[in-house]
Amino acid sequence: MSQHSSDAAHRAAECLLSARVERVPLETFPPGLEPQDLETAYAIQEASLADILDSMGGGRVVGYKIGCTSAAAKELLGLDSPFVGRLLSPKLHESPAQLEASTFSIRVIEPEVAYRLGRPLPASGGPYDASAVKEAAVGVMGSIEVVDTRYADWVGAGGFRLIADNGSAGAWVAGAEDANVDVIDAENQEVKVTLFRDGAAVDHQVGSTGATLGSSLNSLAWLANELNRQGHELGEGDLVTTGTTTQVLHAQPGDRVVADFGPLGGVTVEFD
């Protein structure tokens, strides 16, 4: 990347940081700073990470989130493939989690299967498929990603803007980890996932692990290969949340949301 492009990425990242810290939604980027392609969008994401963590009082990148794993999401966002964001330690919580509703611009619930890696997946060992990444995983869990945004118009922001904004990562709630990775997605067998709000099943919110590129392991393999393409790699201990298994749910202040992952149990988040 040229020095000019690098400077522009940092200035765009500063715009997103200002929207995050001051909690004033970003209407538009200044001229010349709008992410126009994947390379620029990821450059802005990279440039923003240190400042985002500093604004949270410290922390580190502990893994990755995968977005846009369904055909409908790709069409909506104008992307040909899924995208990557980072999981940041200050925004990780254990189920049951109580989160302050007012700290989010939006509270979009995505129930997702997640993995913990037991060894790195470098480019030298790739390309990876579902079988290869399963061998590298040492734990699997249900989880809830809470999507948030720094944009005034989240729905109309488009894929490049969402990538620049760390993939619209808000918070992440982890369920109990199971060391038996075969408990889910074994032999490509889909597992039903159901969302409940305040104790009642939510209409049209029954999905399955097959919603993420056919299986959560397929999503994990996609990520390993995509990171290698970008010059990065999954490392030992990294957490990966693999994309929503149901349609998204917009939670309101006071809501208590439970995602039931069958053999992986339930994951709970409540917004005070």
For 235-263, write each residue's pLDDT tens digit.
999 999 999 998 889 999 999 999 999 99
Residue 233 and residue 110 in contact, taking contact as beta carbons nearer than 8 Å: no
Lowest mean pLDDT: which of 14-23, 107-116, 119-128, 177-186? 177-186
pLDDT of residue 187: 52
pLDDT of residue 191: 83
Share of the chain above pLDDT 90, in %: 82
* Share in percent of the chain as helix, strand, coil (round to 5): 35, 30, 35
SS3 (DSSP) at 170: strand
Query: Of residues 3 and 65, which shows the higher confidence score?
Result: 65
Average pLDDT over residues 34-51: 95
Any bridge partners for residue 107, and if so which? Answer: none
Q: Within 13 Å, how many C-alpha atoms sit on residue 251's CB side?
A: 31
* Residue reference for tokens 């409940």: 196
Residue type, 87: L
pLDDT of residue 96: 98
Tokens representing 209 are 């692990």
Residue type, 180: N
Residue 267 and residue 261 in contact, taking contact as beta carbons nearer than 8 Å: yes
Q: What would the DSSP string read from start to end of 254-266? A: T-EEEEE-GGG-E
The span from the CA of 40 to the CA of 35, in Å, is 5
pLDDT of residue 207: 83
Task: Reply yes or no on whether the pLDDT at 42 is more than 60.
Answer: yes
* 21-35 pLDDT tens trace: 999 999 999 999 999
Does the bond joining 127 to the residue before it have cis omega, within 30 degrees of 0? yes
Burial class (CB in 10 A: 0-12, 13-18, 19+), 124: exposed
Per-residue confidence band for 4, with pLDDT thresholds at 50, 70 and 90: very low
Per-residue confidence band for 189, with pLDDT thresholds at 50, 70 and 90: low
Lowest mean pLDDT: which of 70-79, 177-186, 189-198, 252-261? 70-79
Q: Which helix (H) or strand (E) holds 42?
A: helix 38-55
Task: Reply yes or no on whether the pLDDT at 206 is more than 90.
Answer: no
**Top CATH class, 60-271:** alpha beta
* 57-72 pLDDT tens trace: 999 999 999 999 877 7
Task: Reply yes or no on whether the pLDDT at 198 is more than 60.
Answer: yes
* Residue reference for tokens 């392609």: 37
Mean pLDDT of the chain: 92
pTM, two decimal places: 0.94
Per-residue confidence band for 80, with pLDDT thresholds at 50, 70 and 90: confident
Residue 128 and residue 227 in contact, taking contact as beta carbons nearer than 8 Å: no
The span from the CA of 240 to the CA of 67, in Å, is 11
Rg (CA), the chain: 18
pLDDT of residue 188: 54
The span from the CA of 140 to the CA of 241, in Å, is 10
Average pLDDT over residues 111-115: 96
DSSP 8-state assignment for residue 194: E
Any bridge partners for residue 79, and if so which? Answer: none
Would you list the domain boundaries of the chain? 60-271
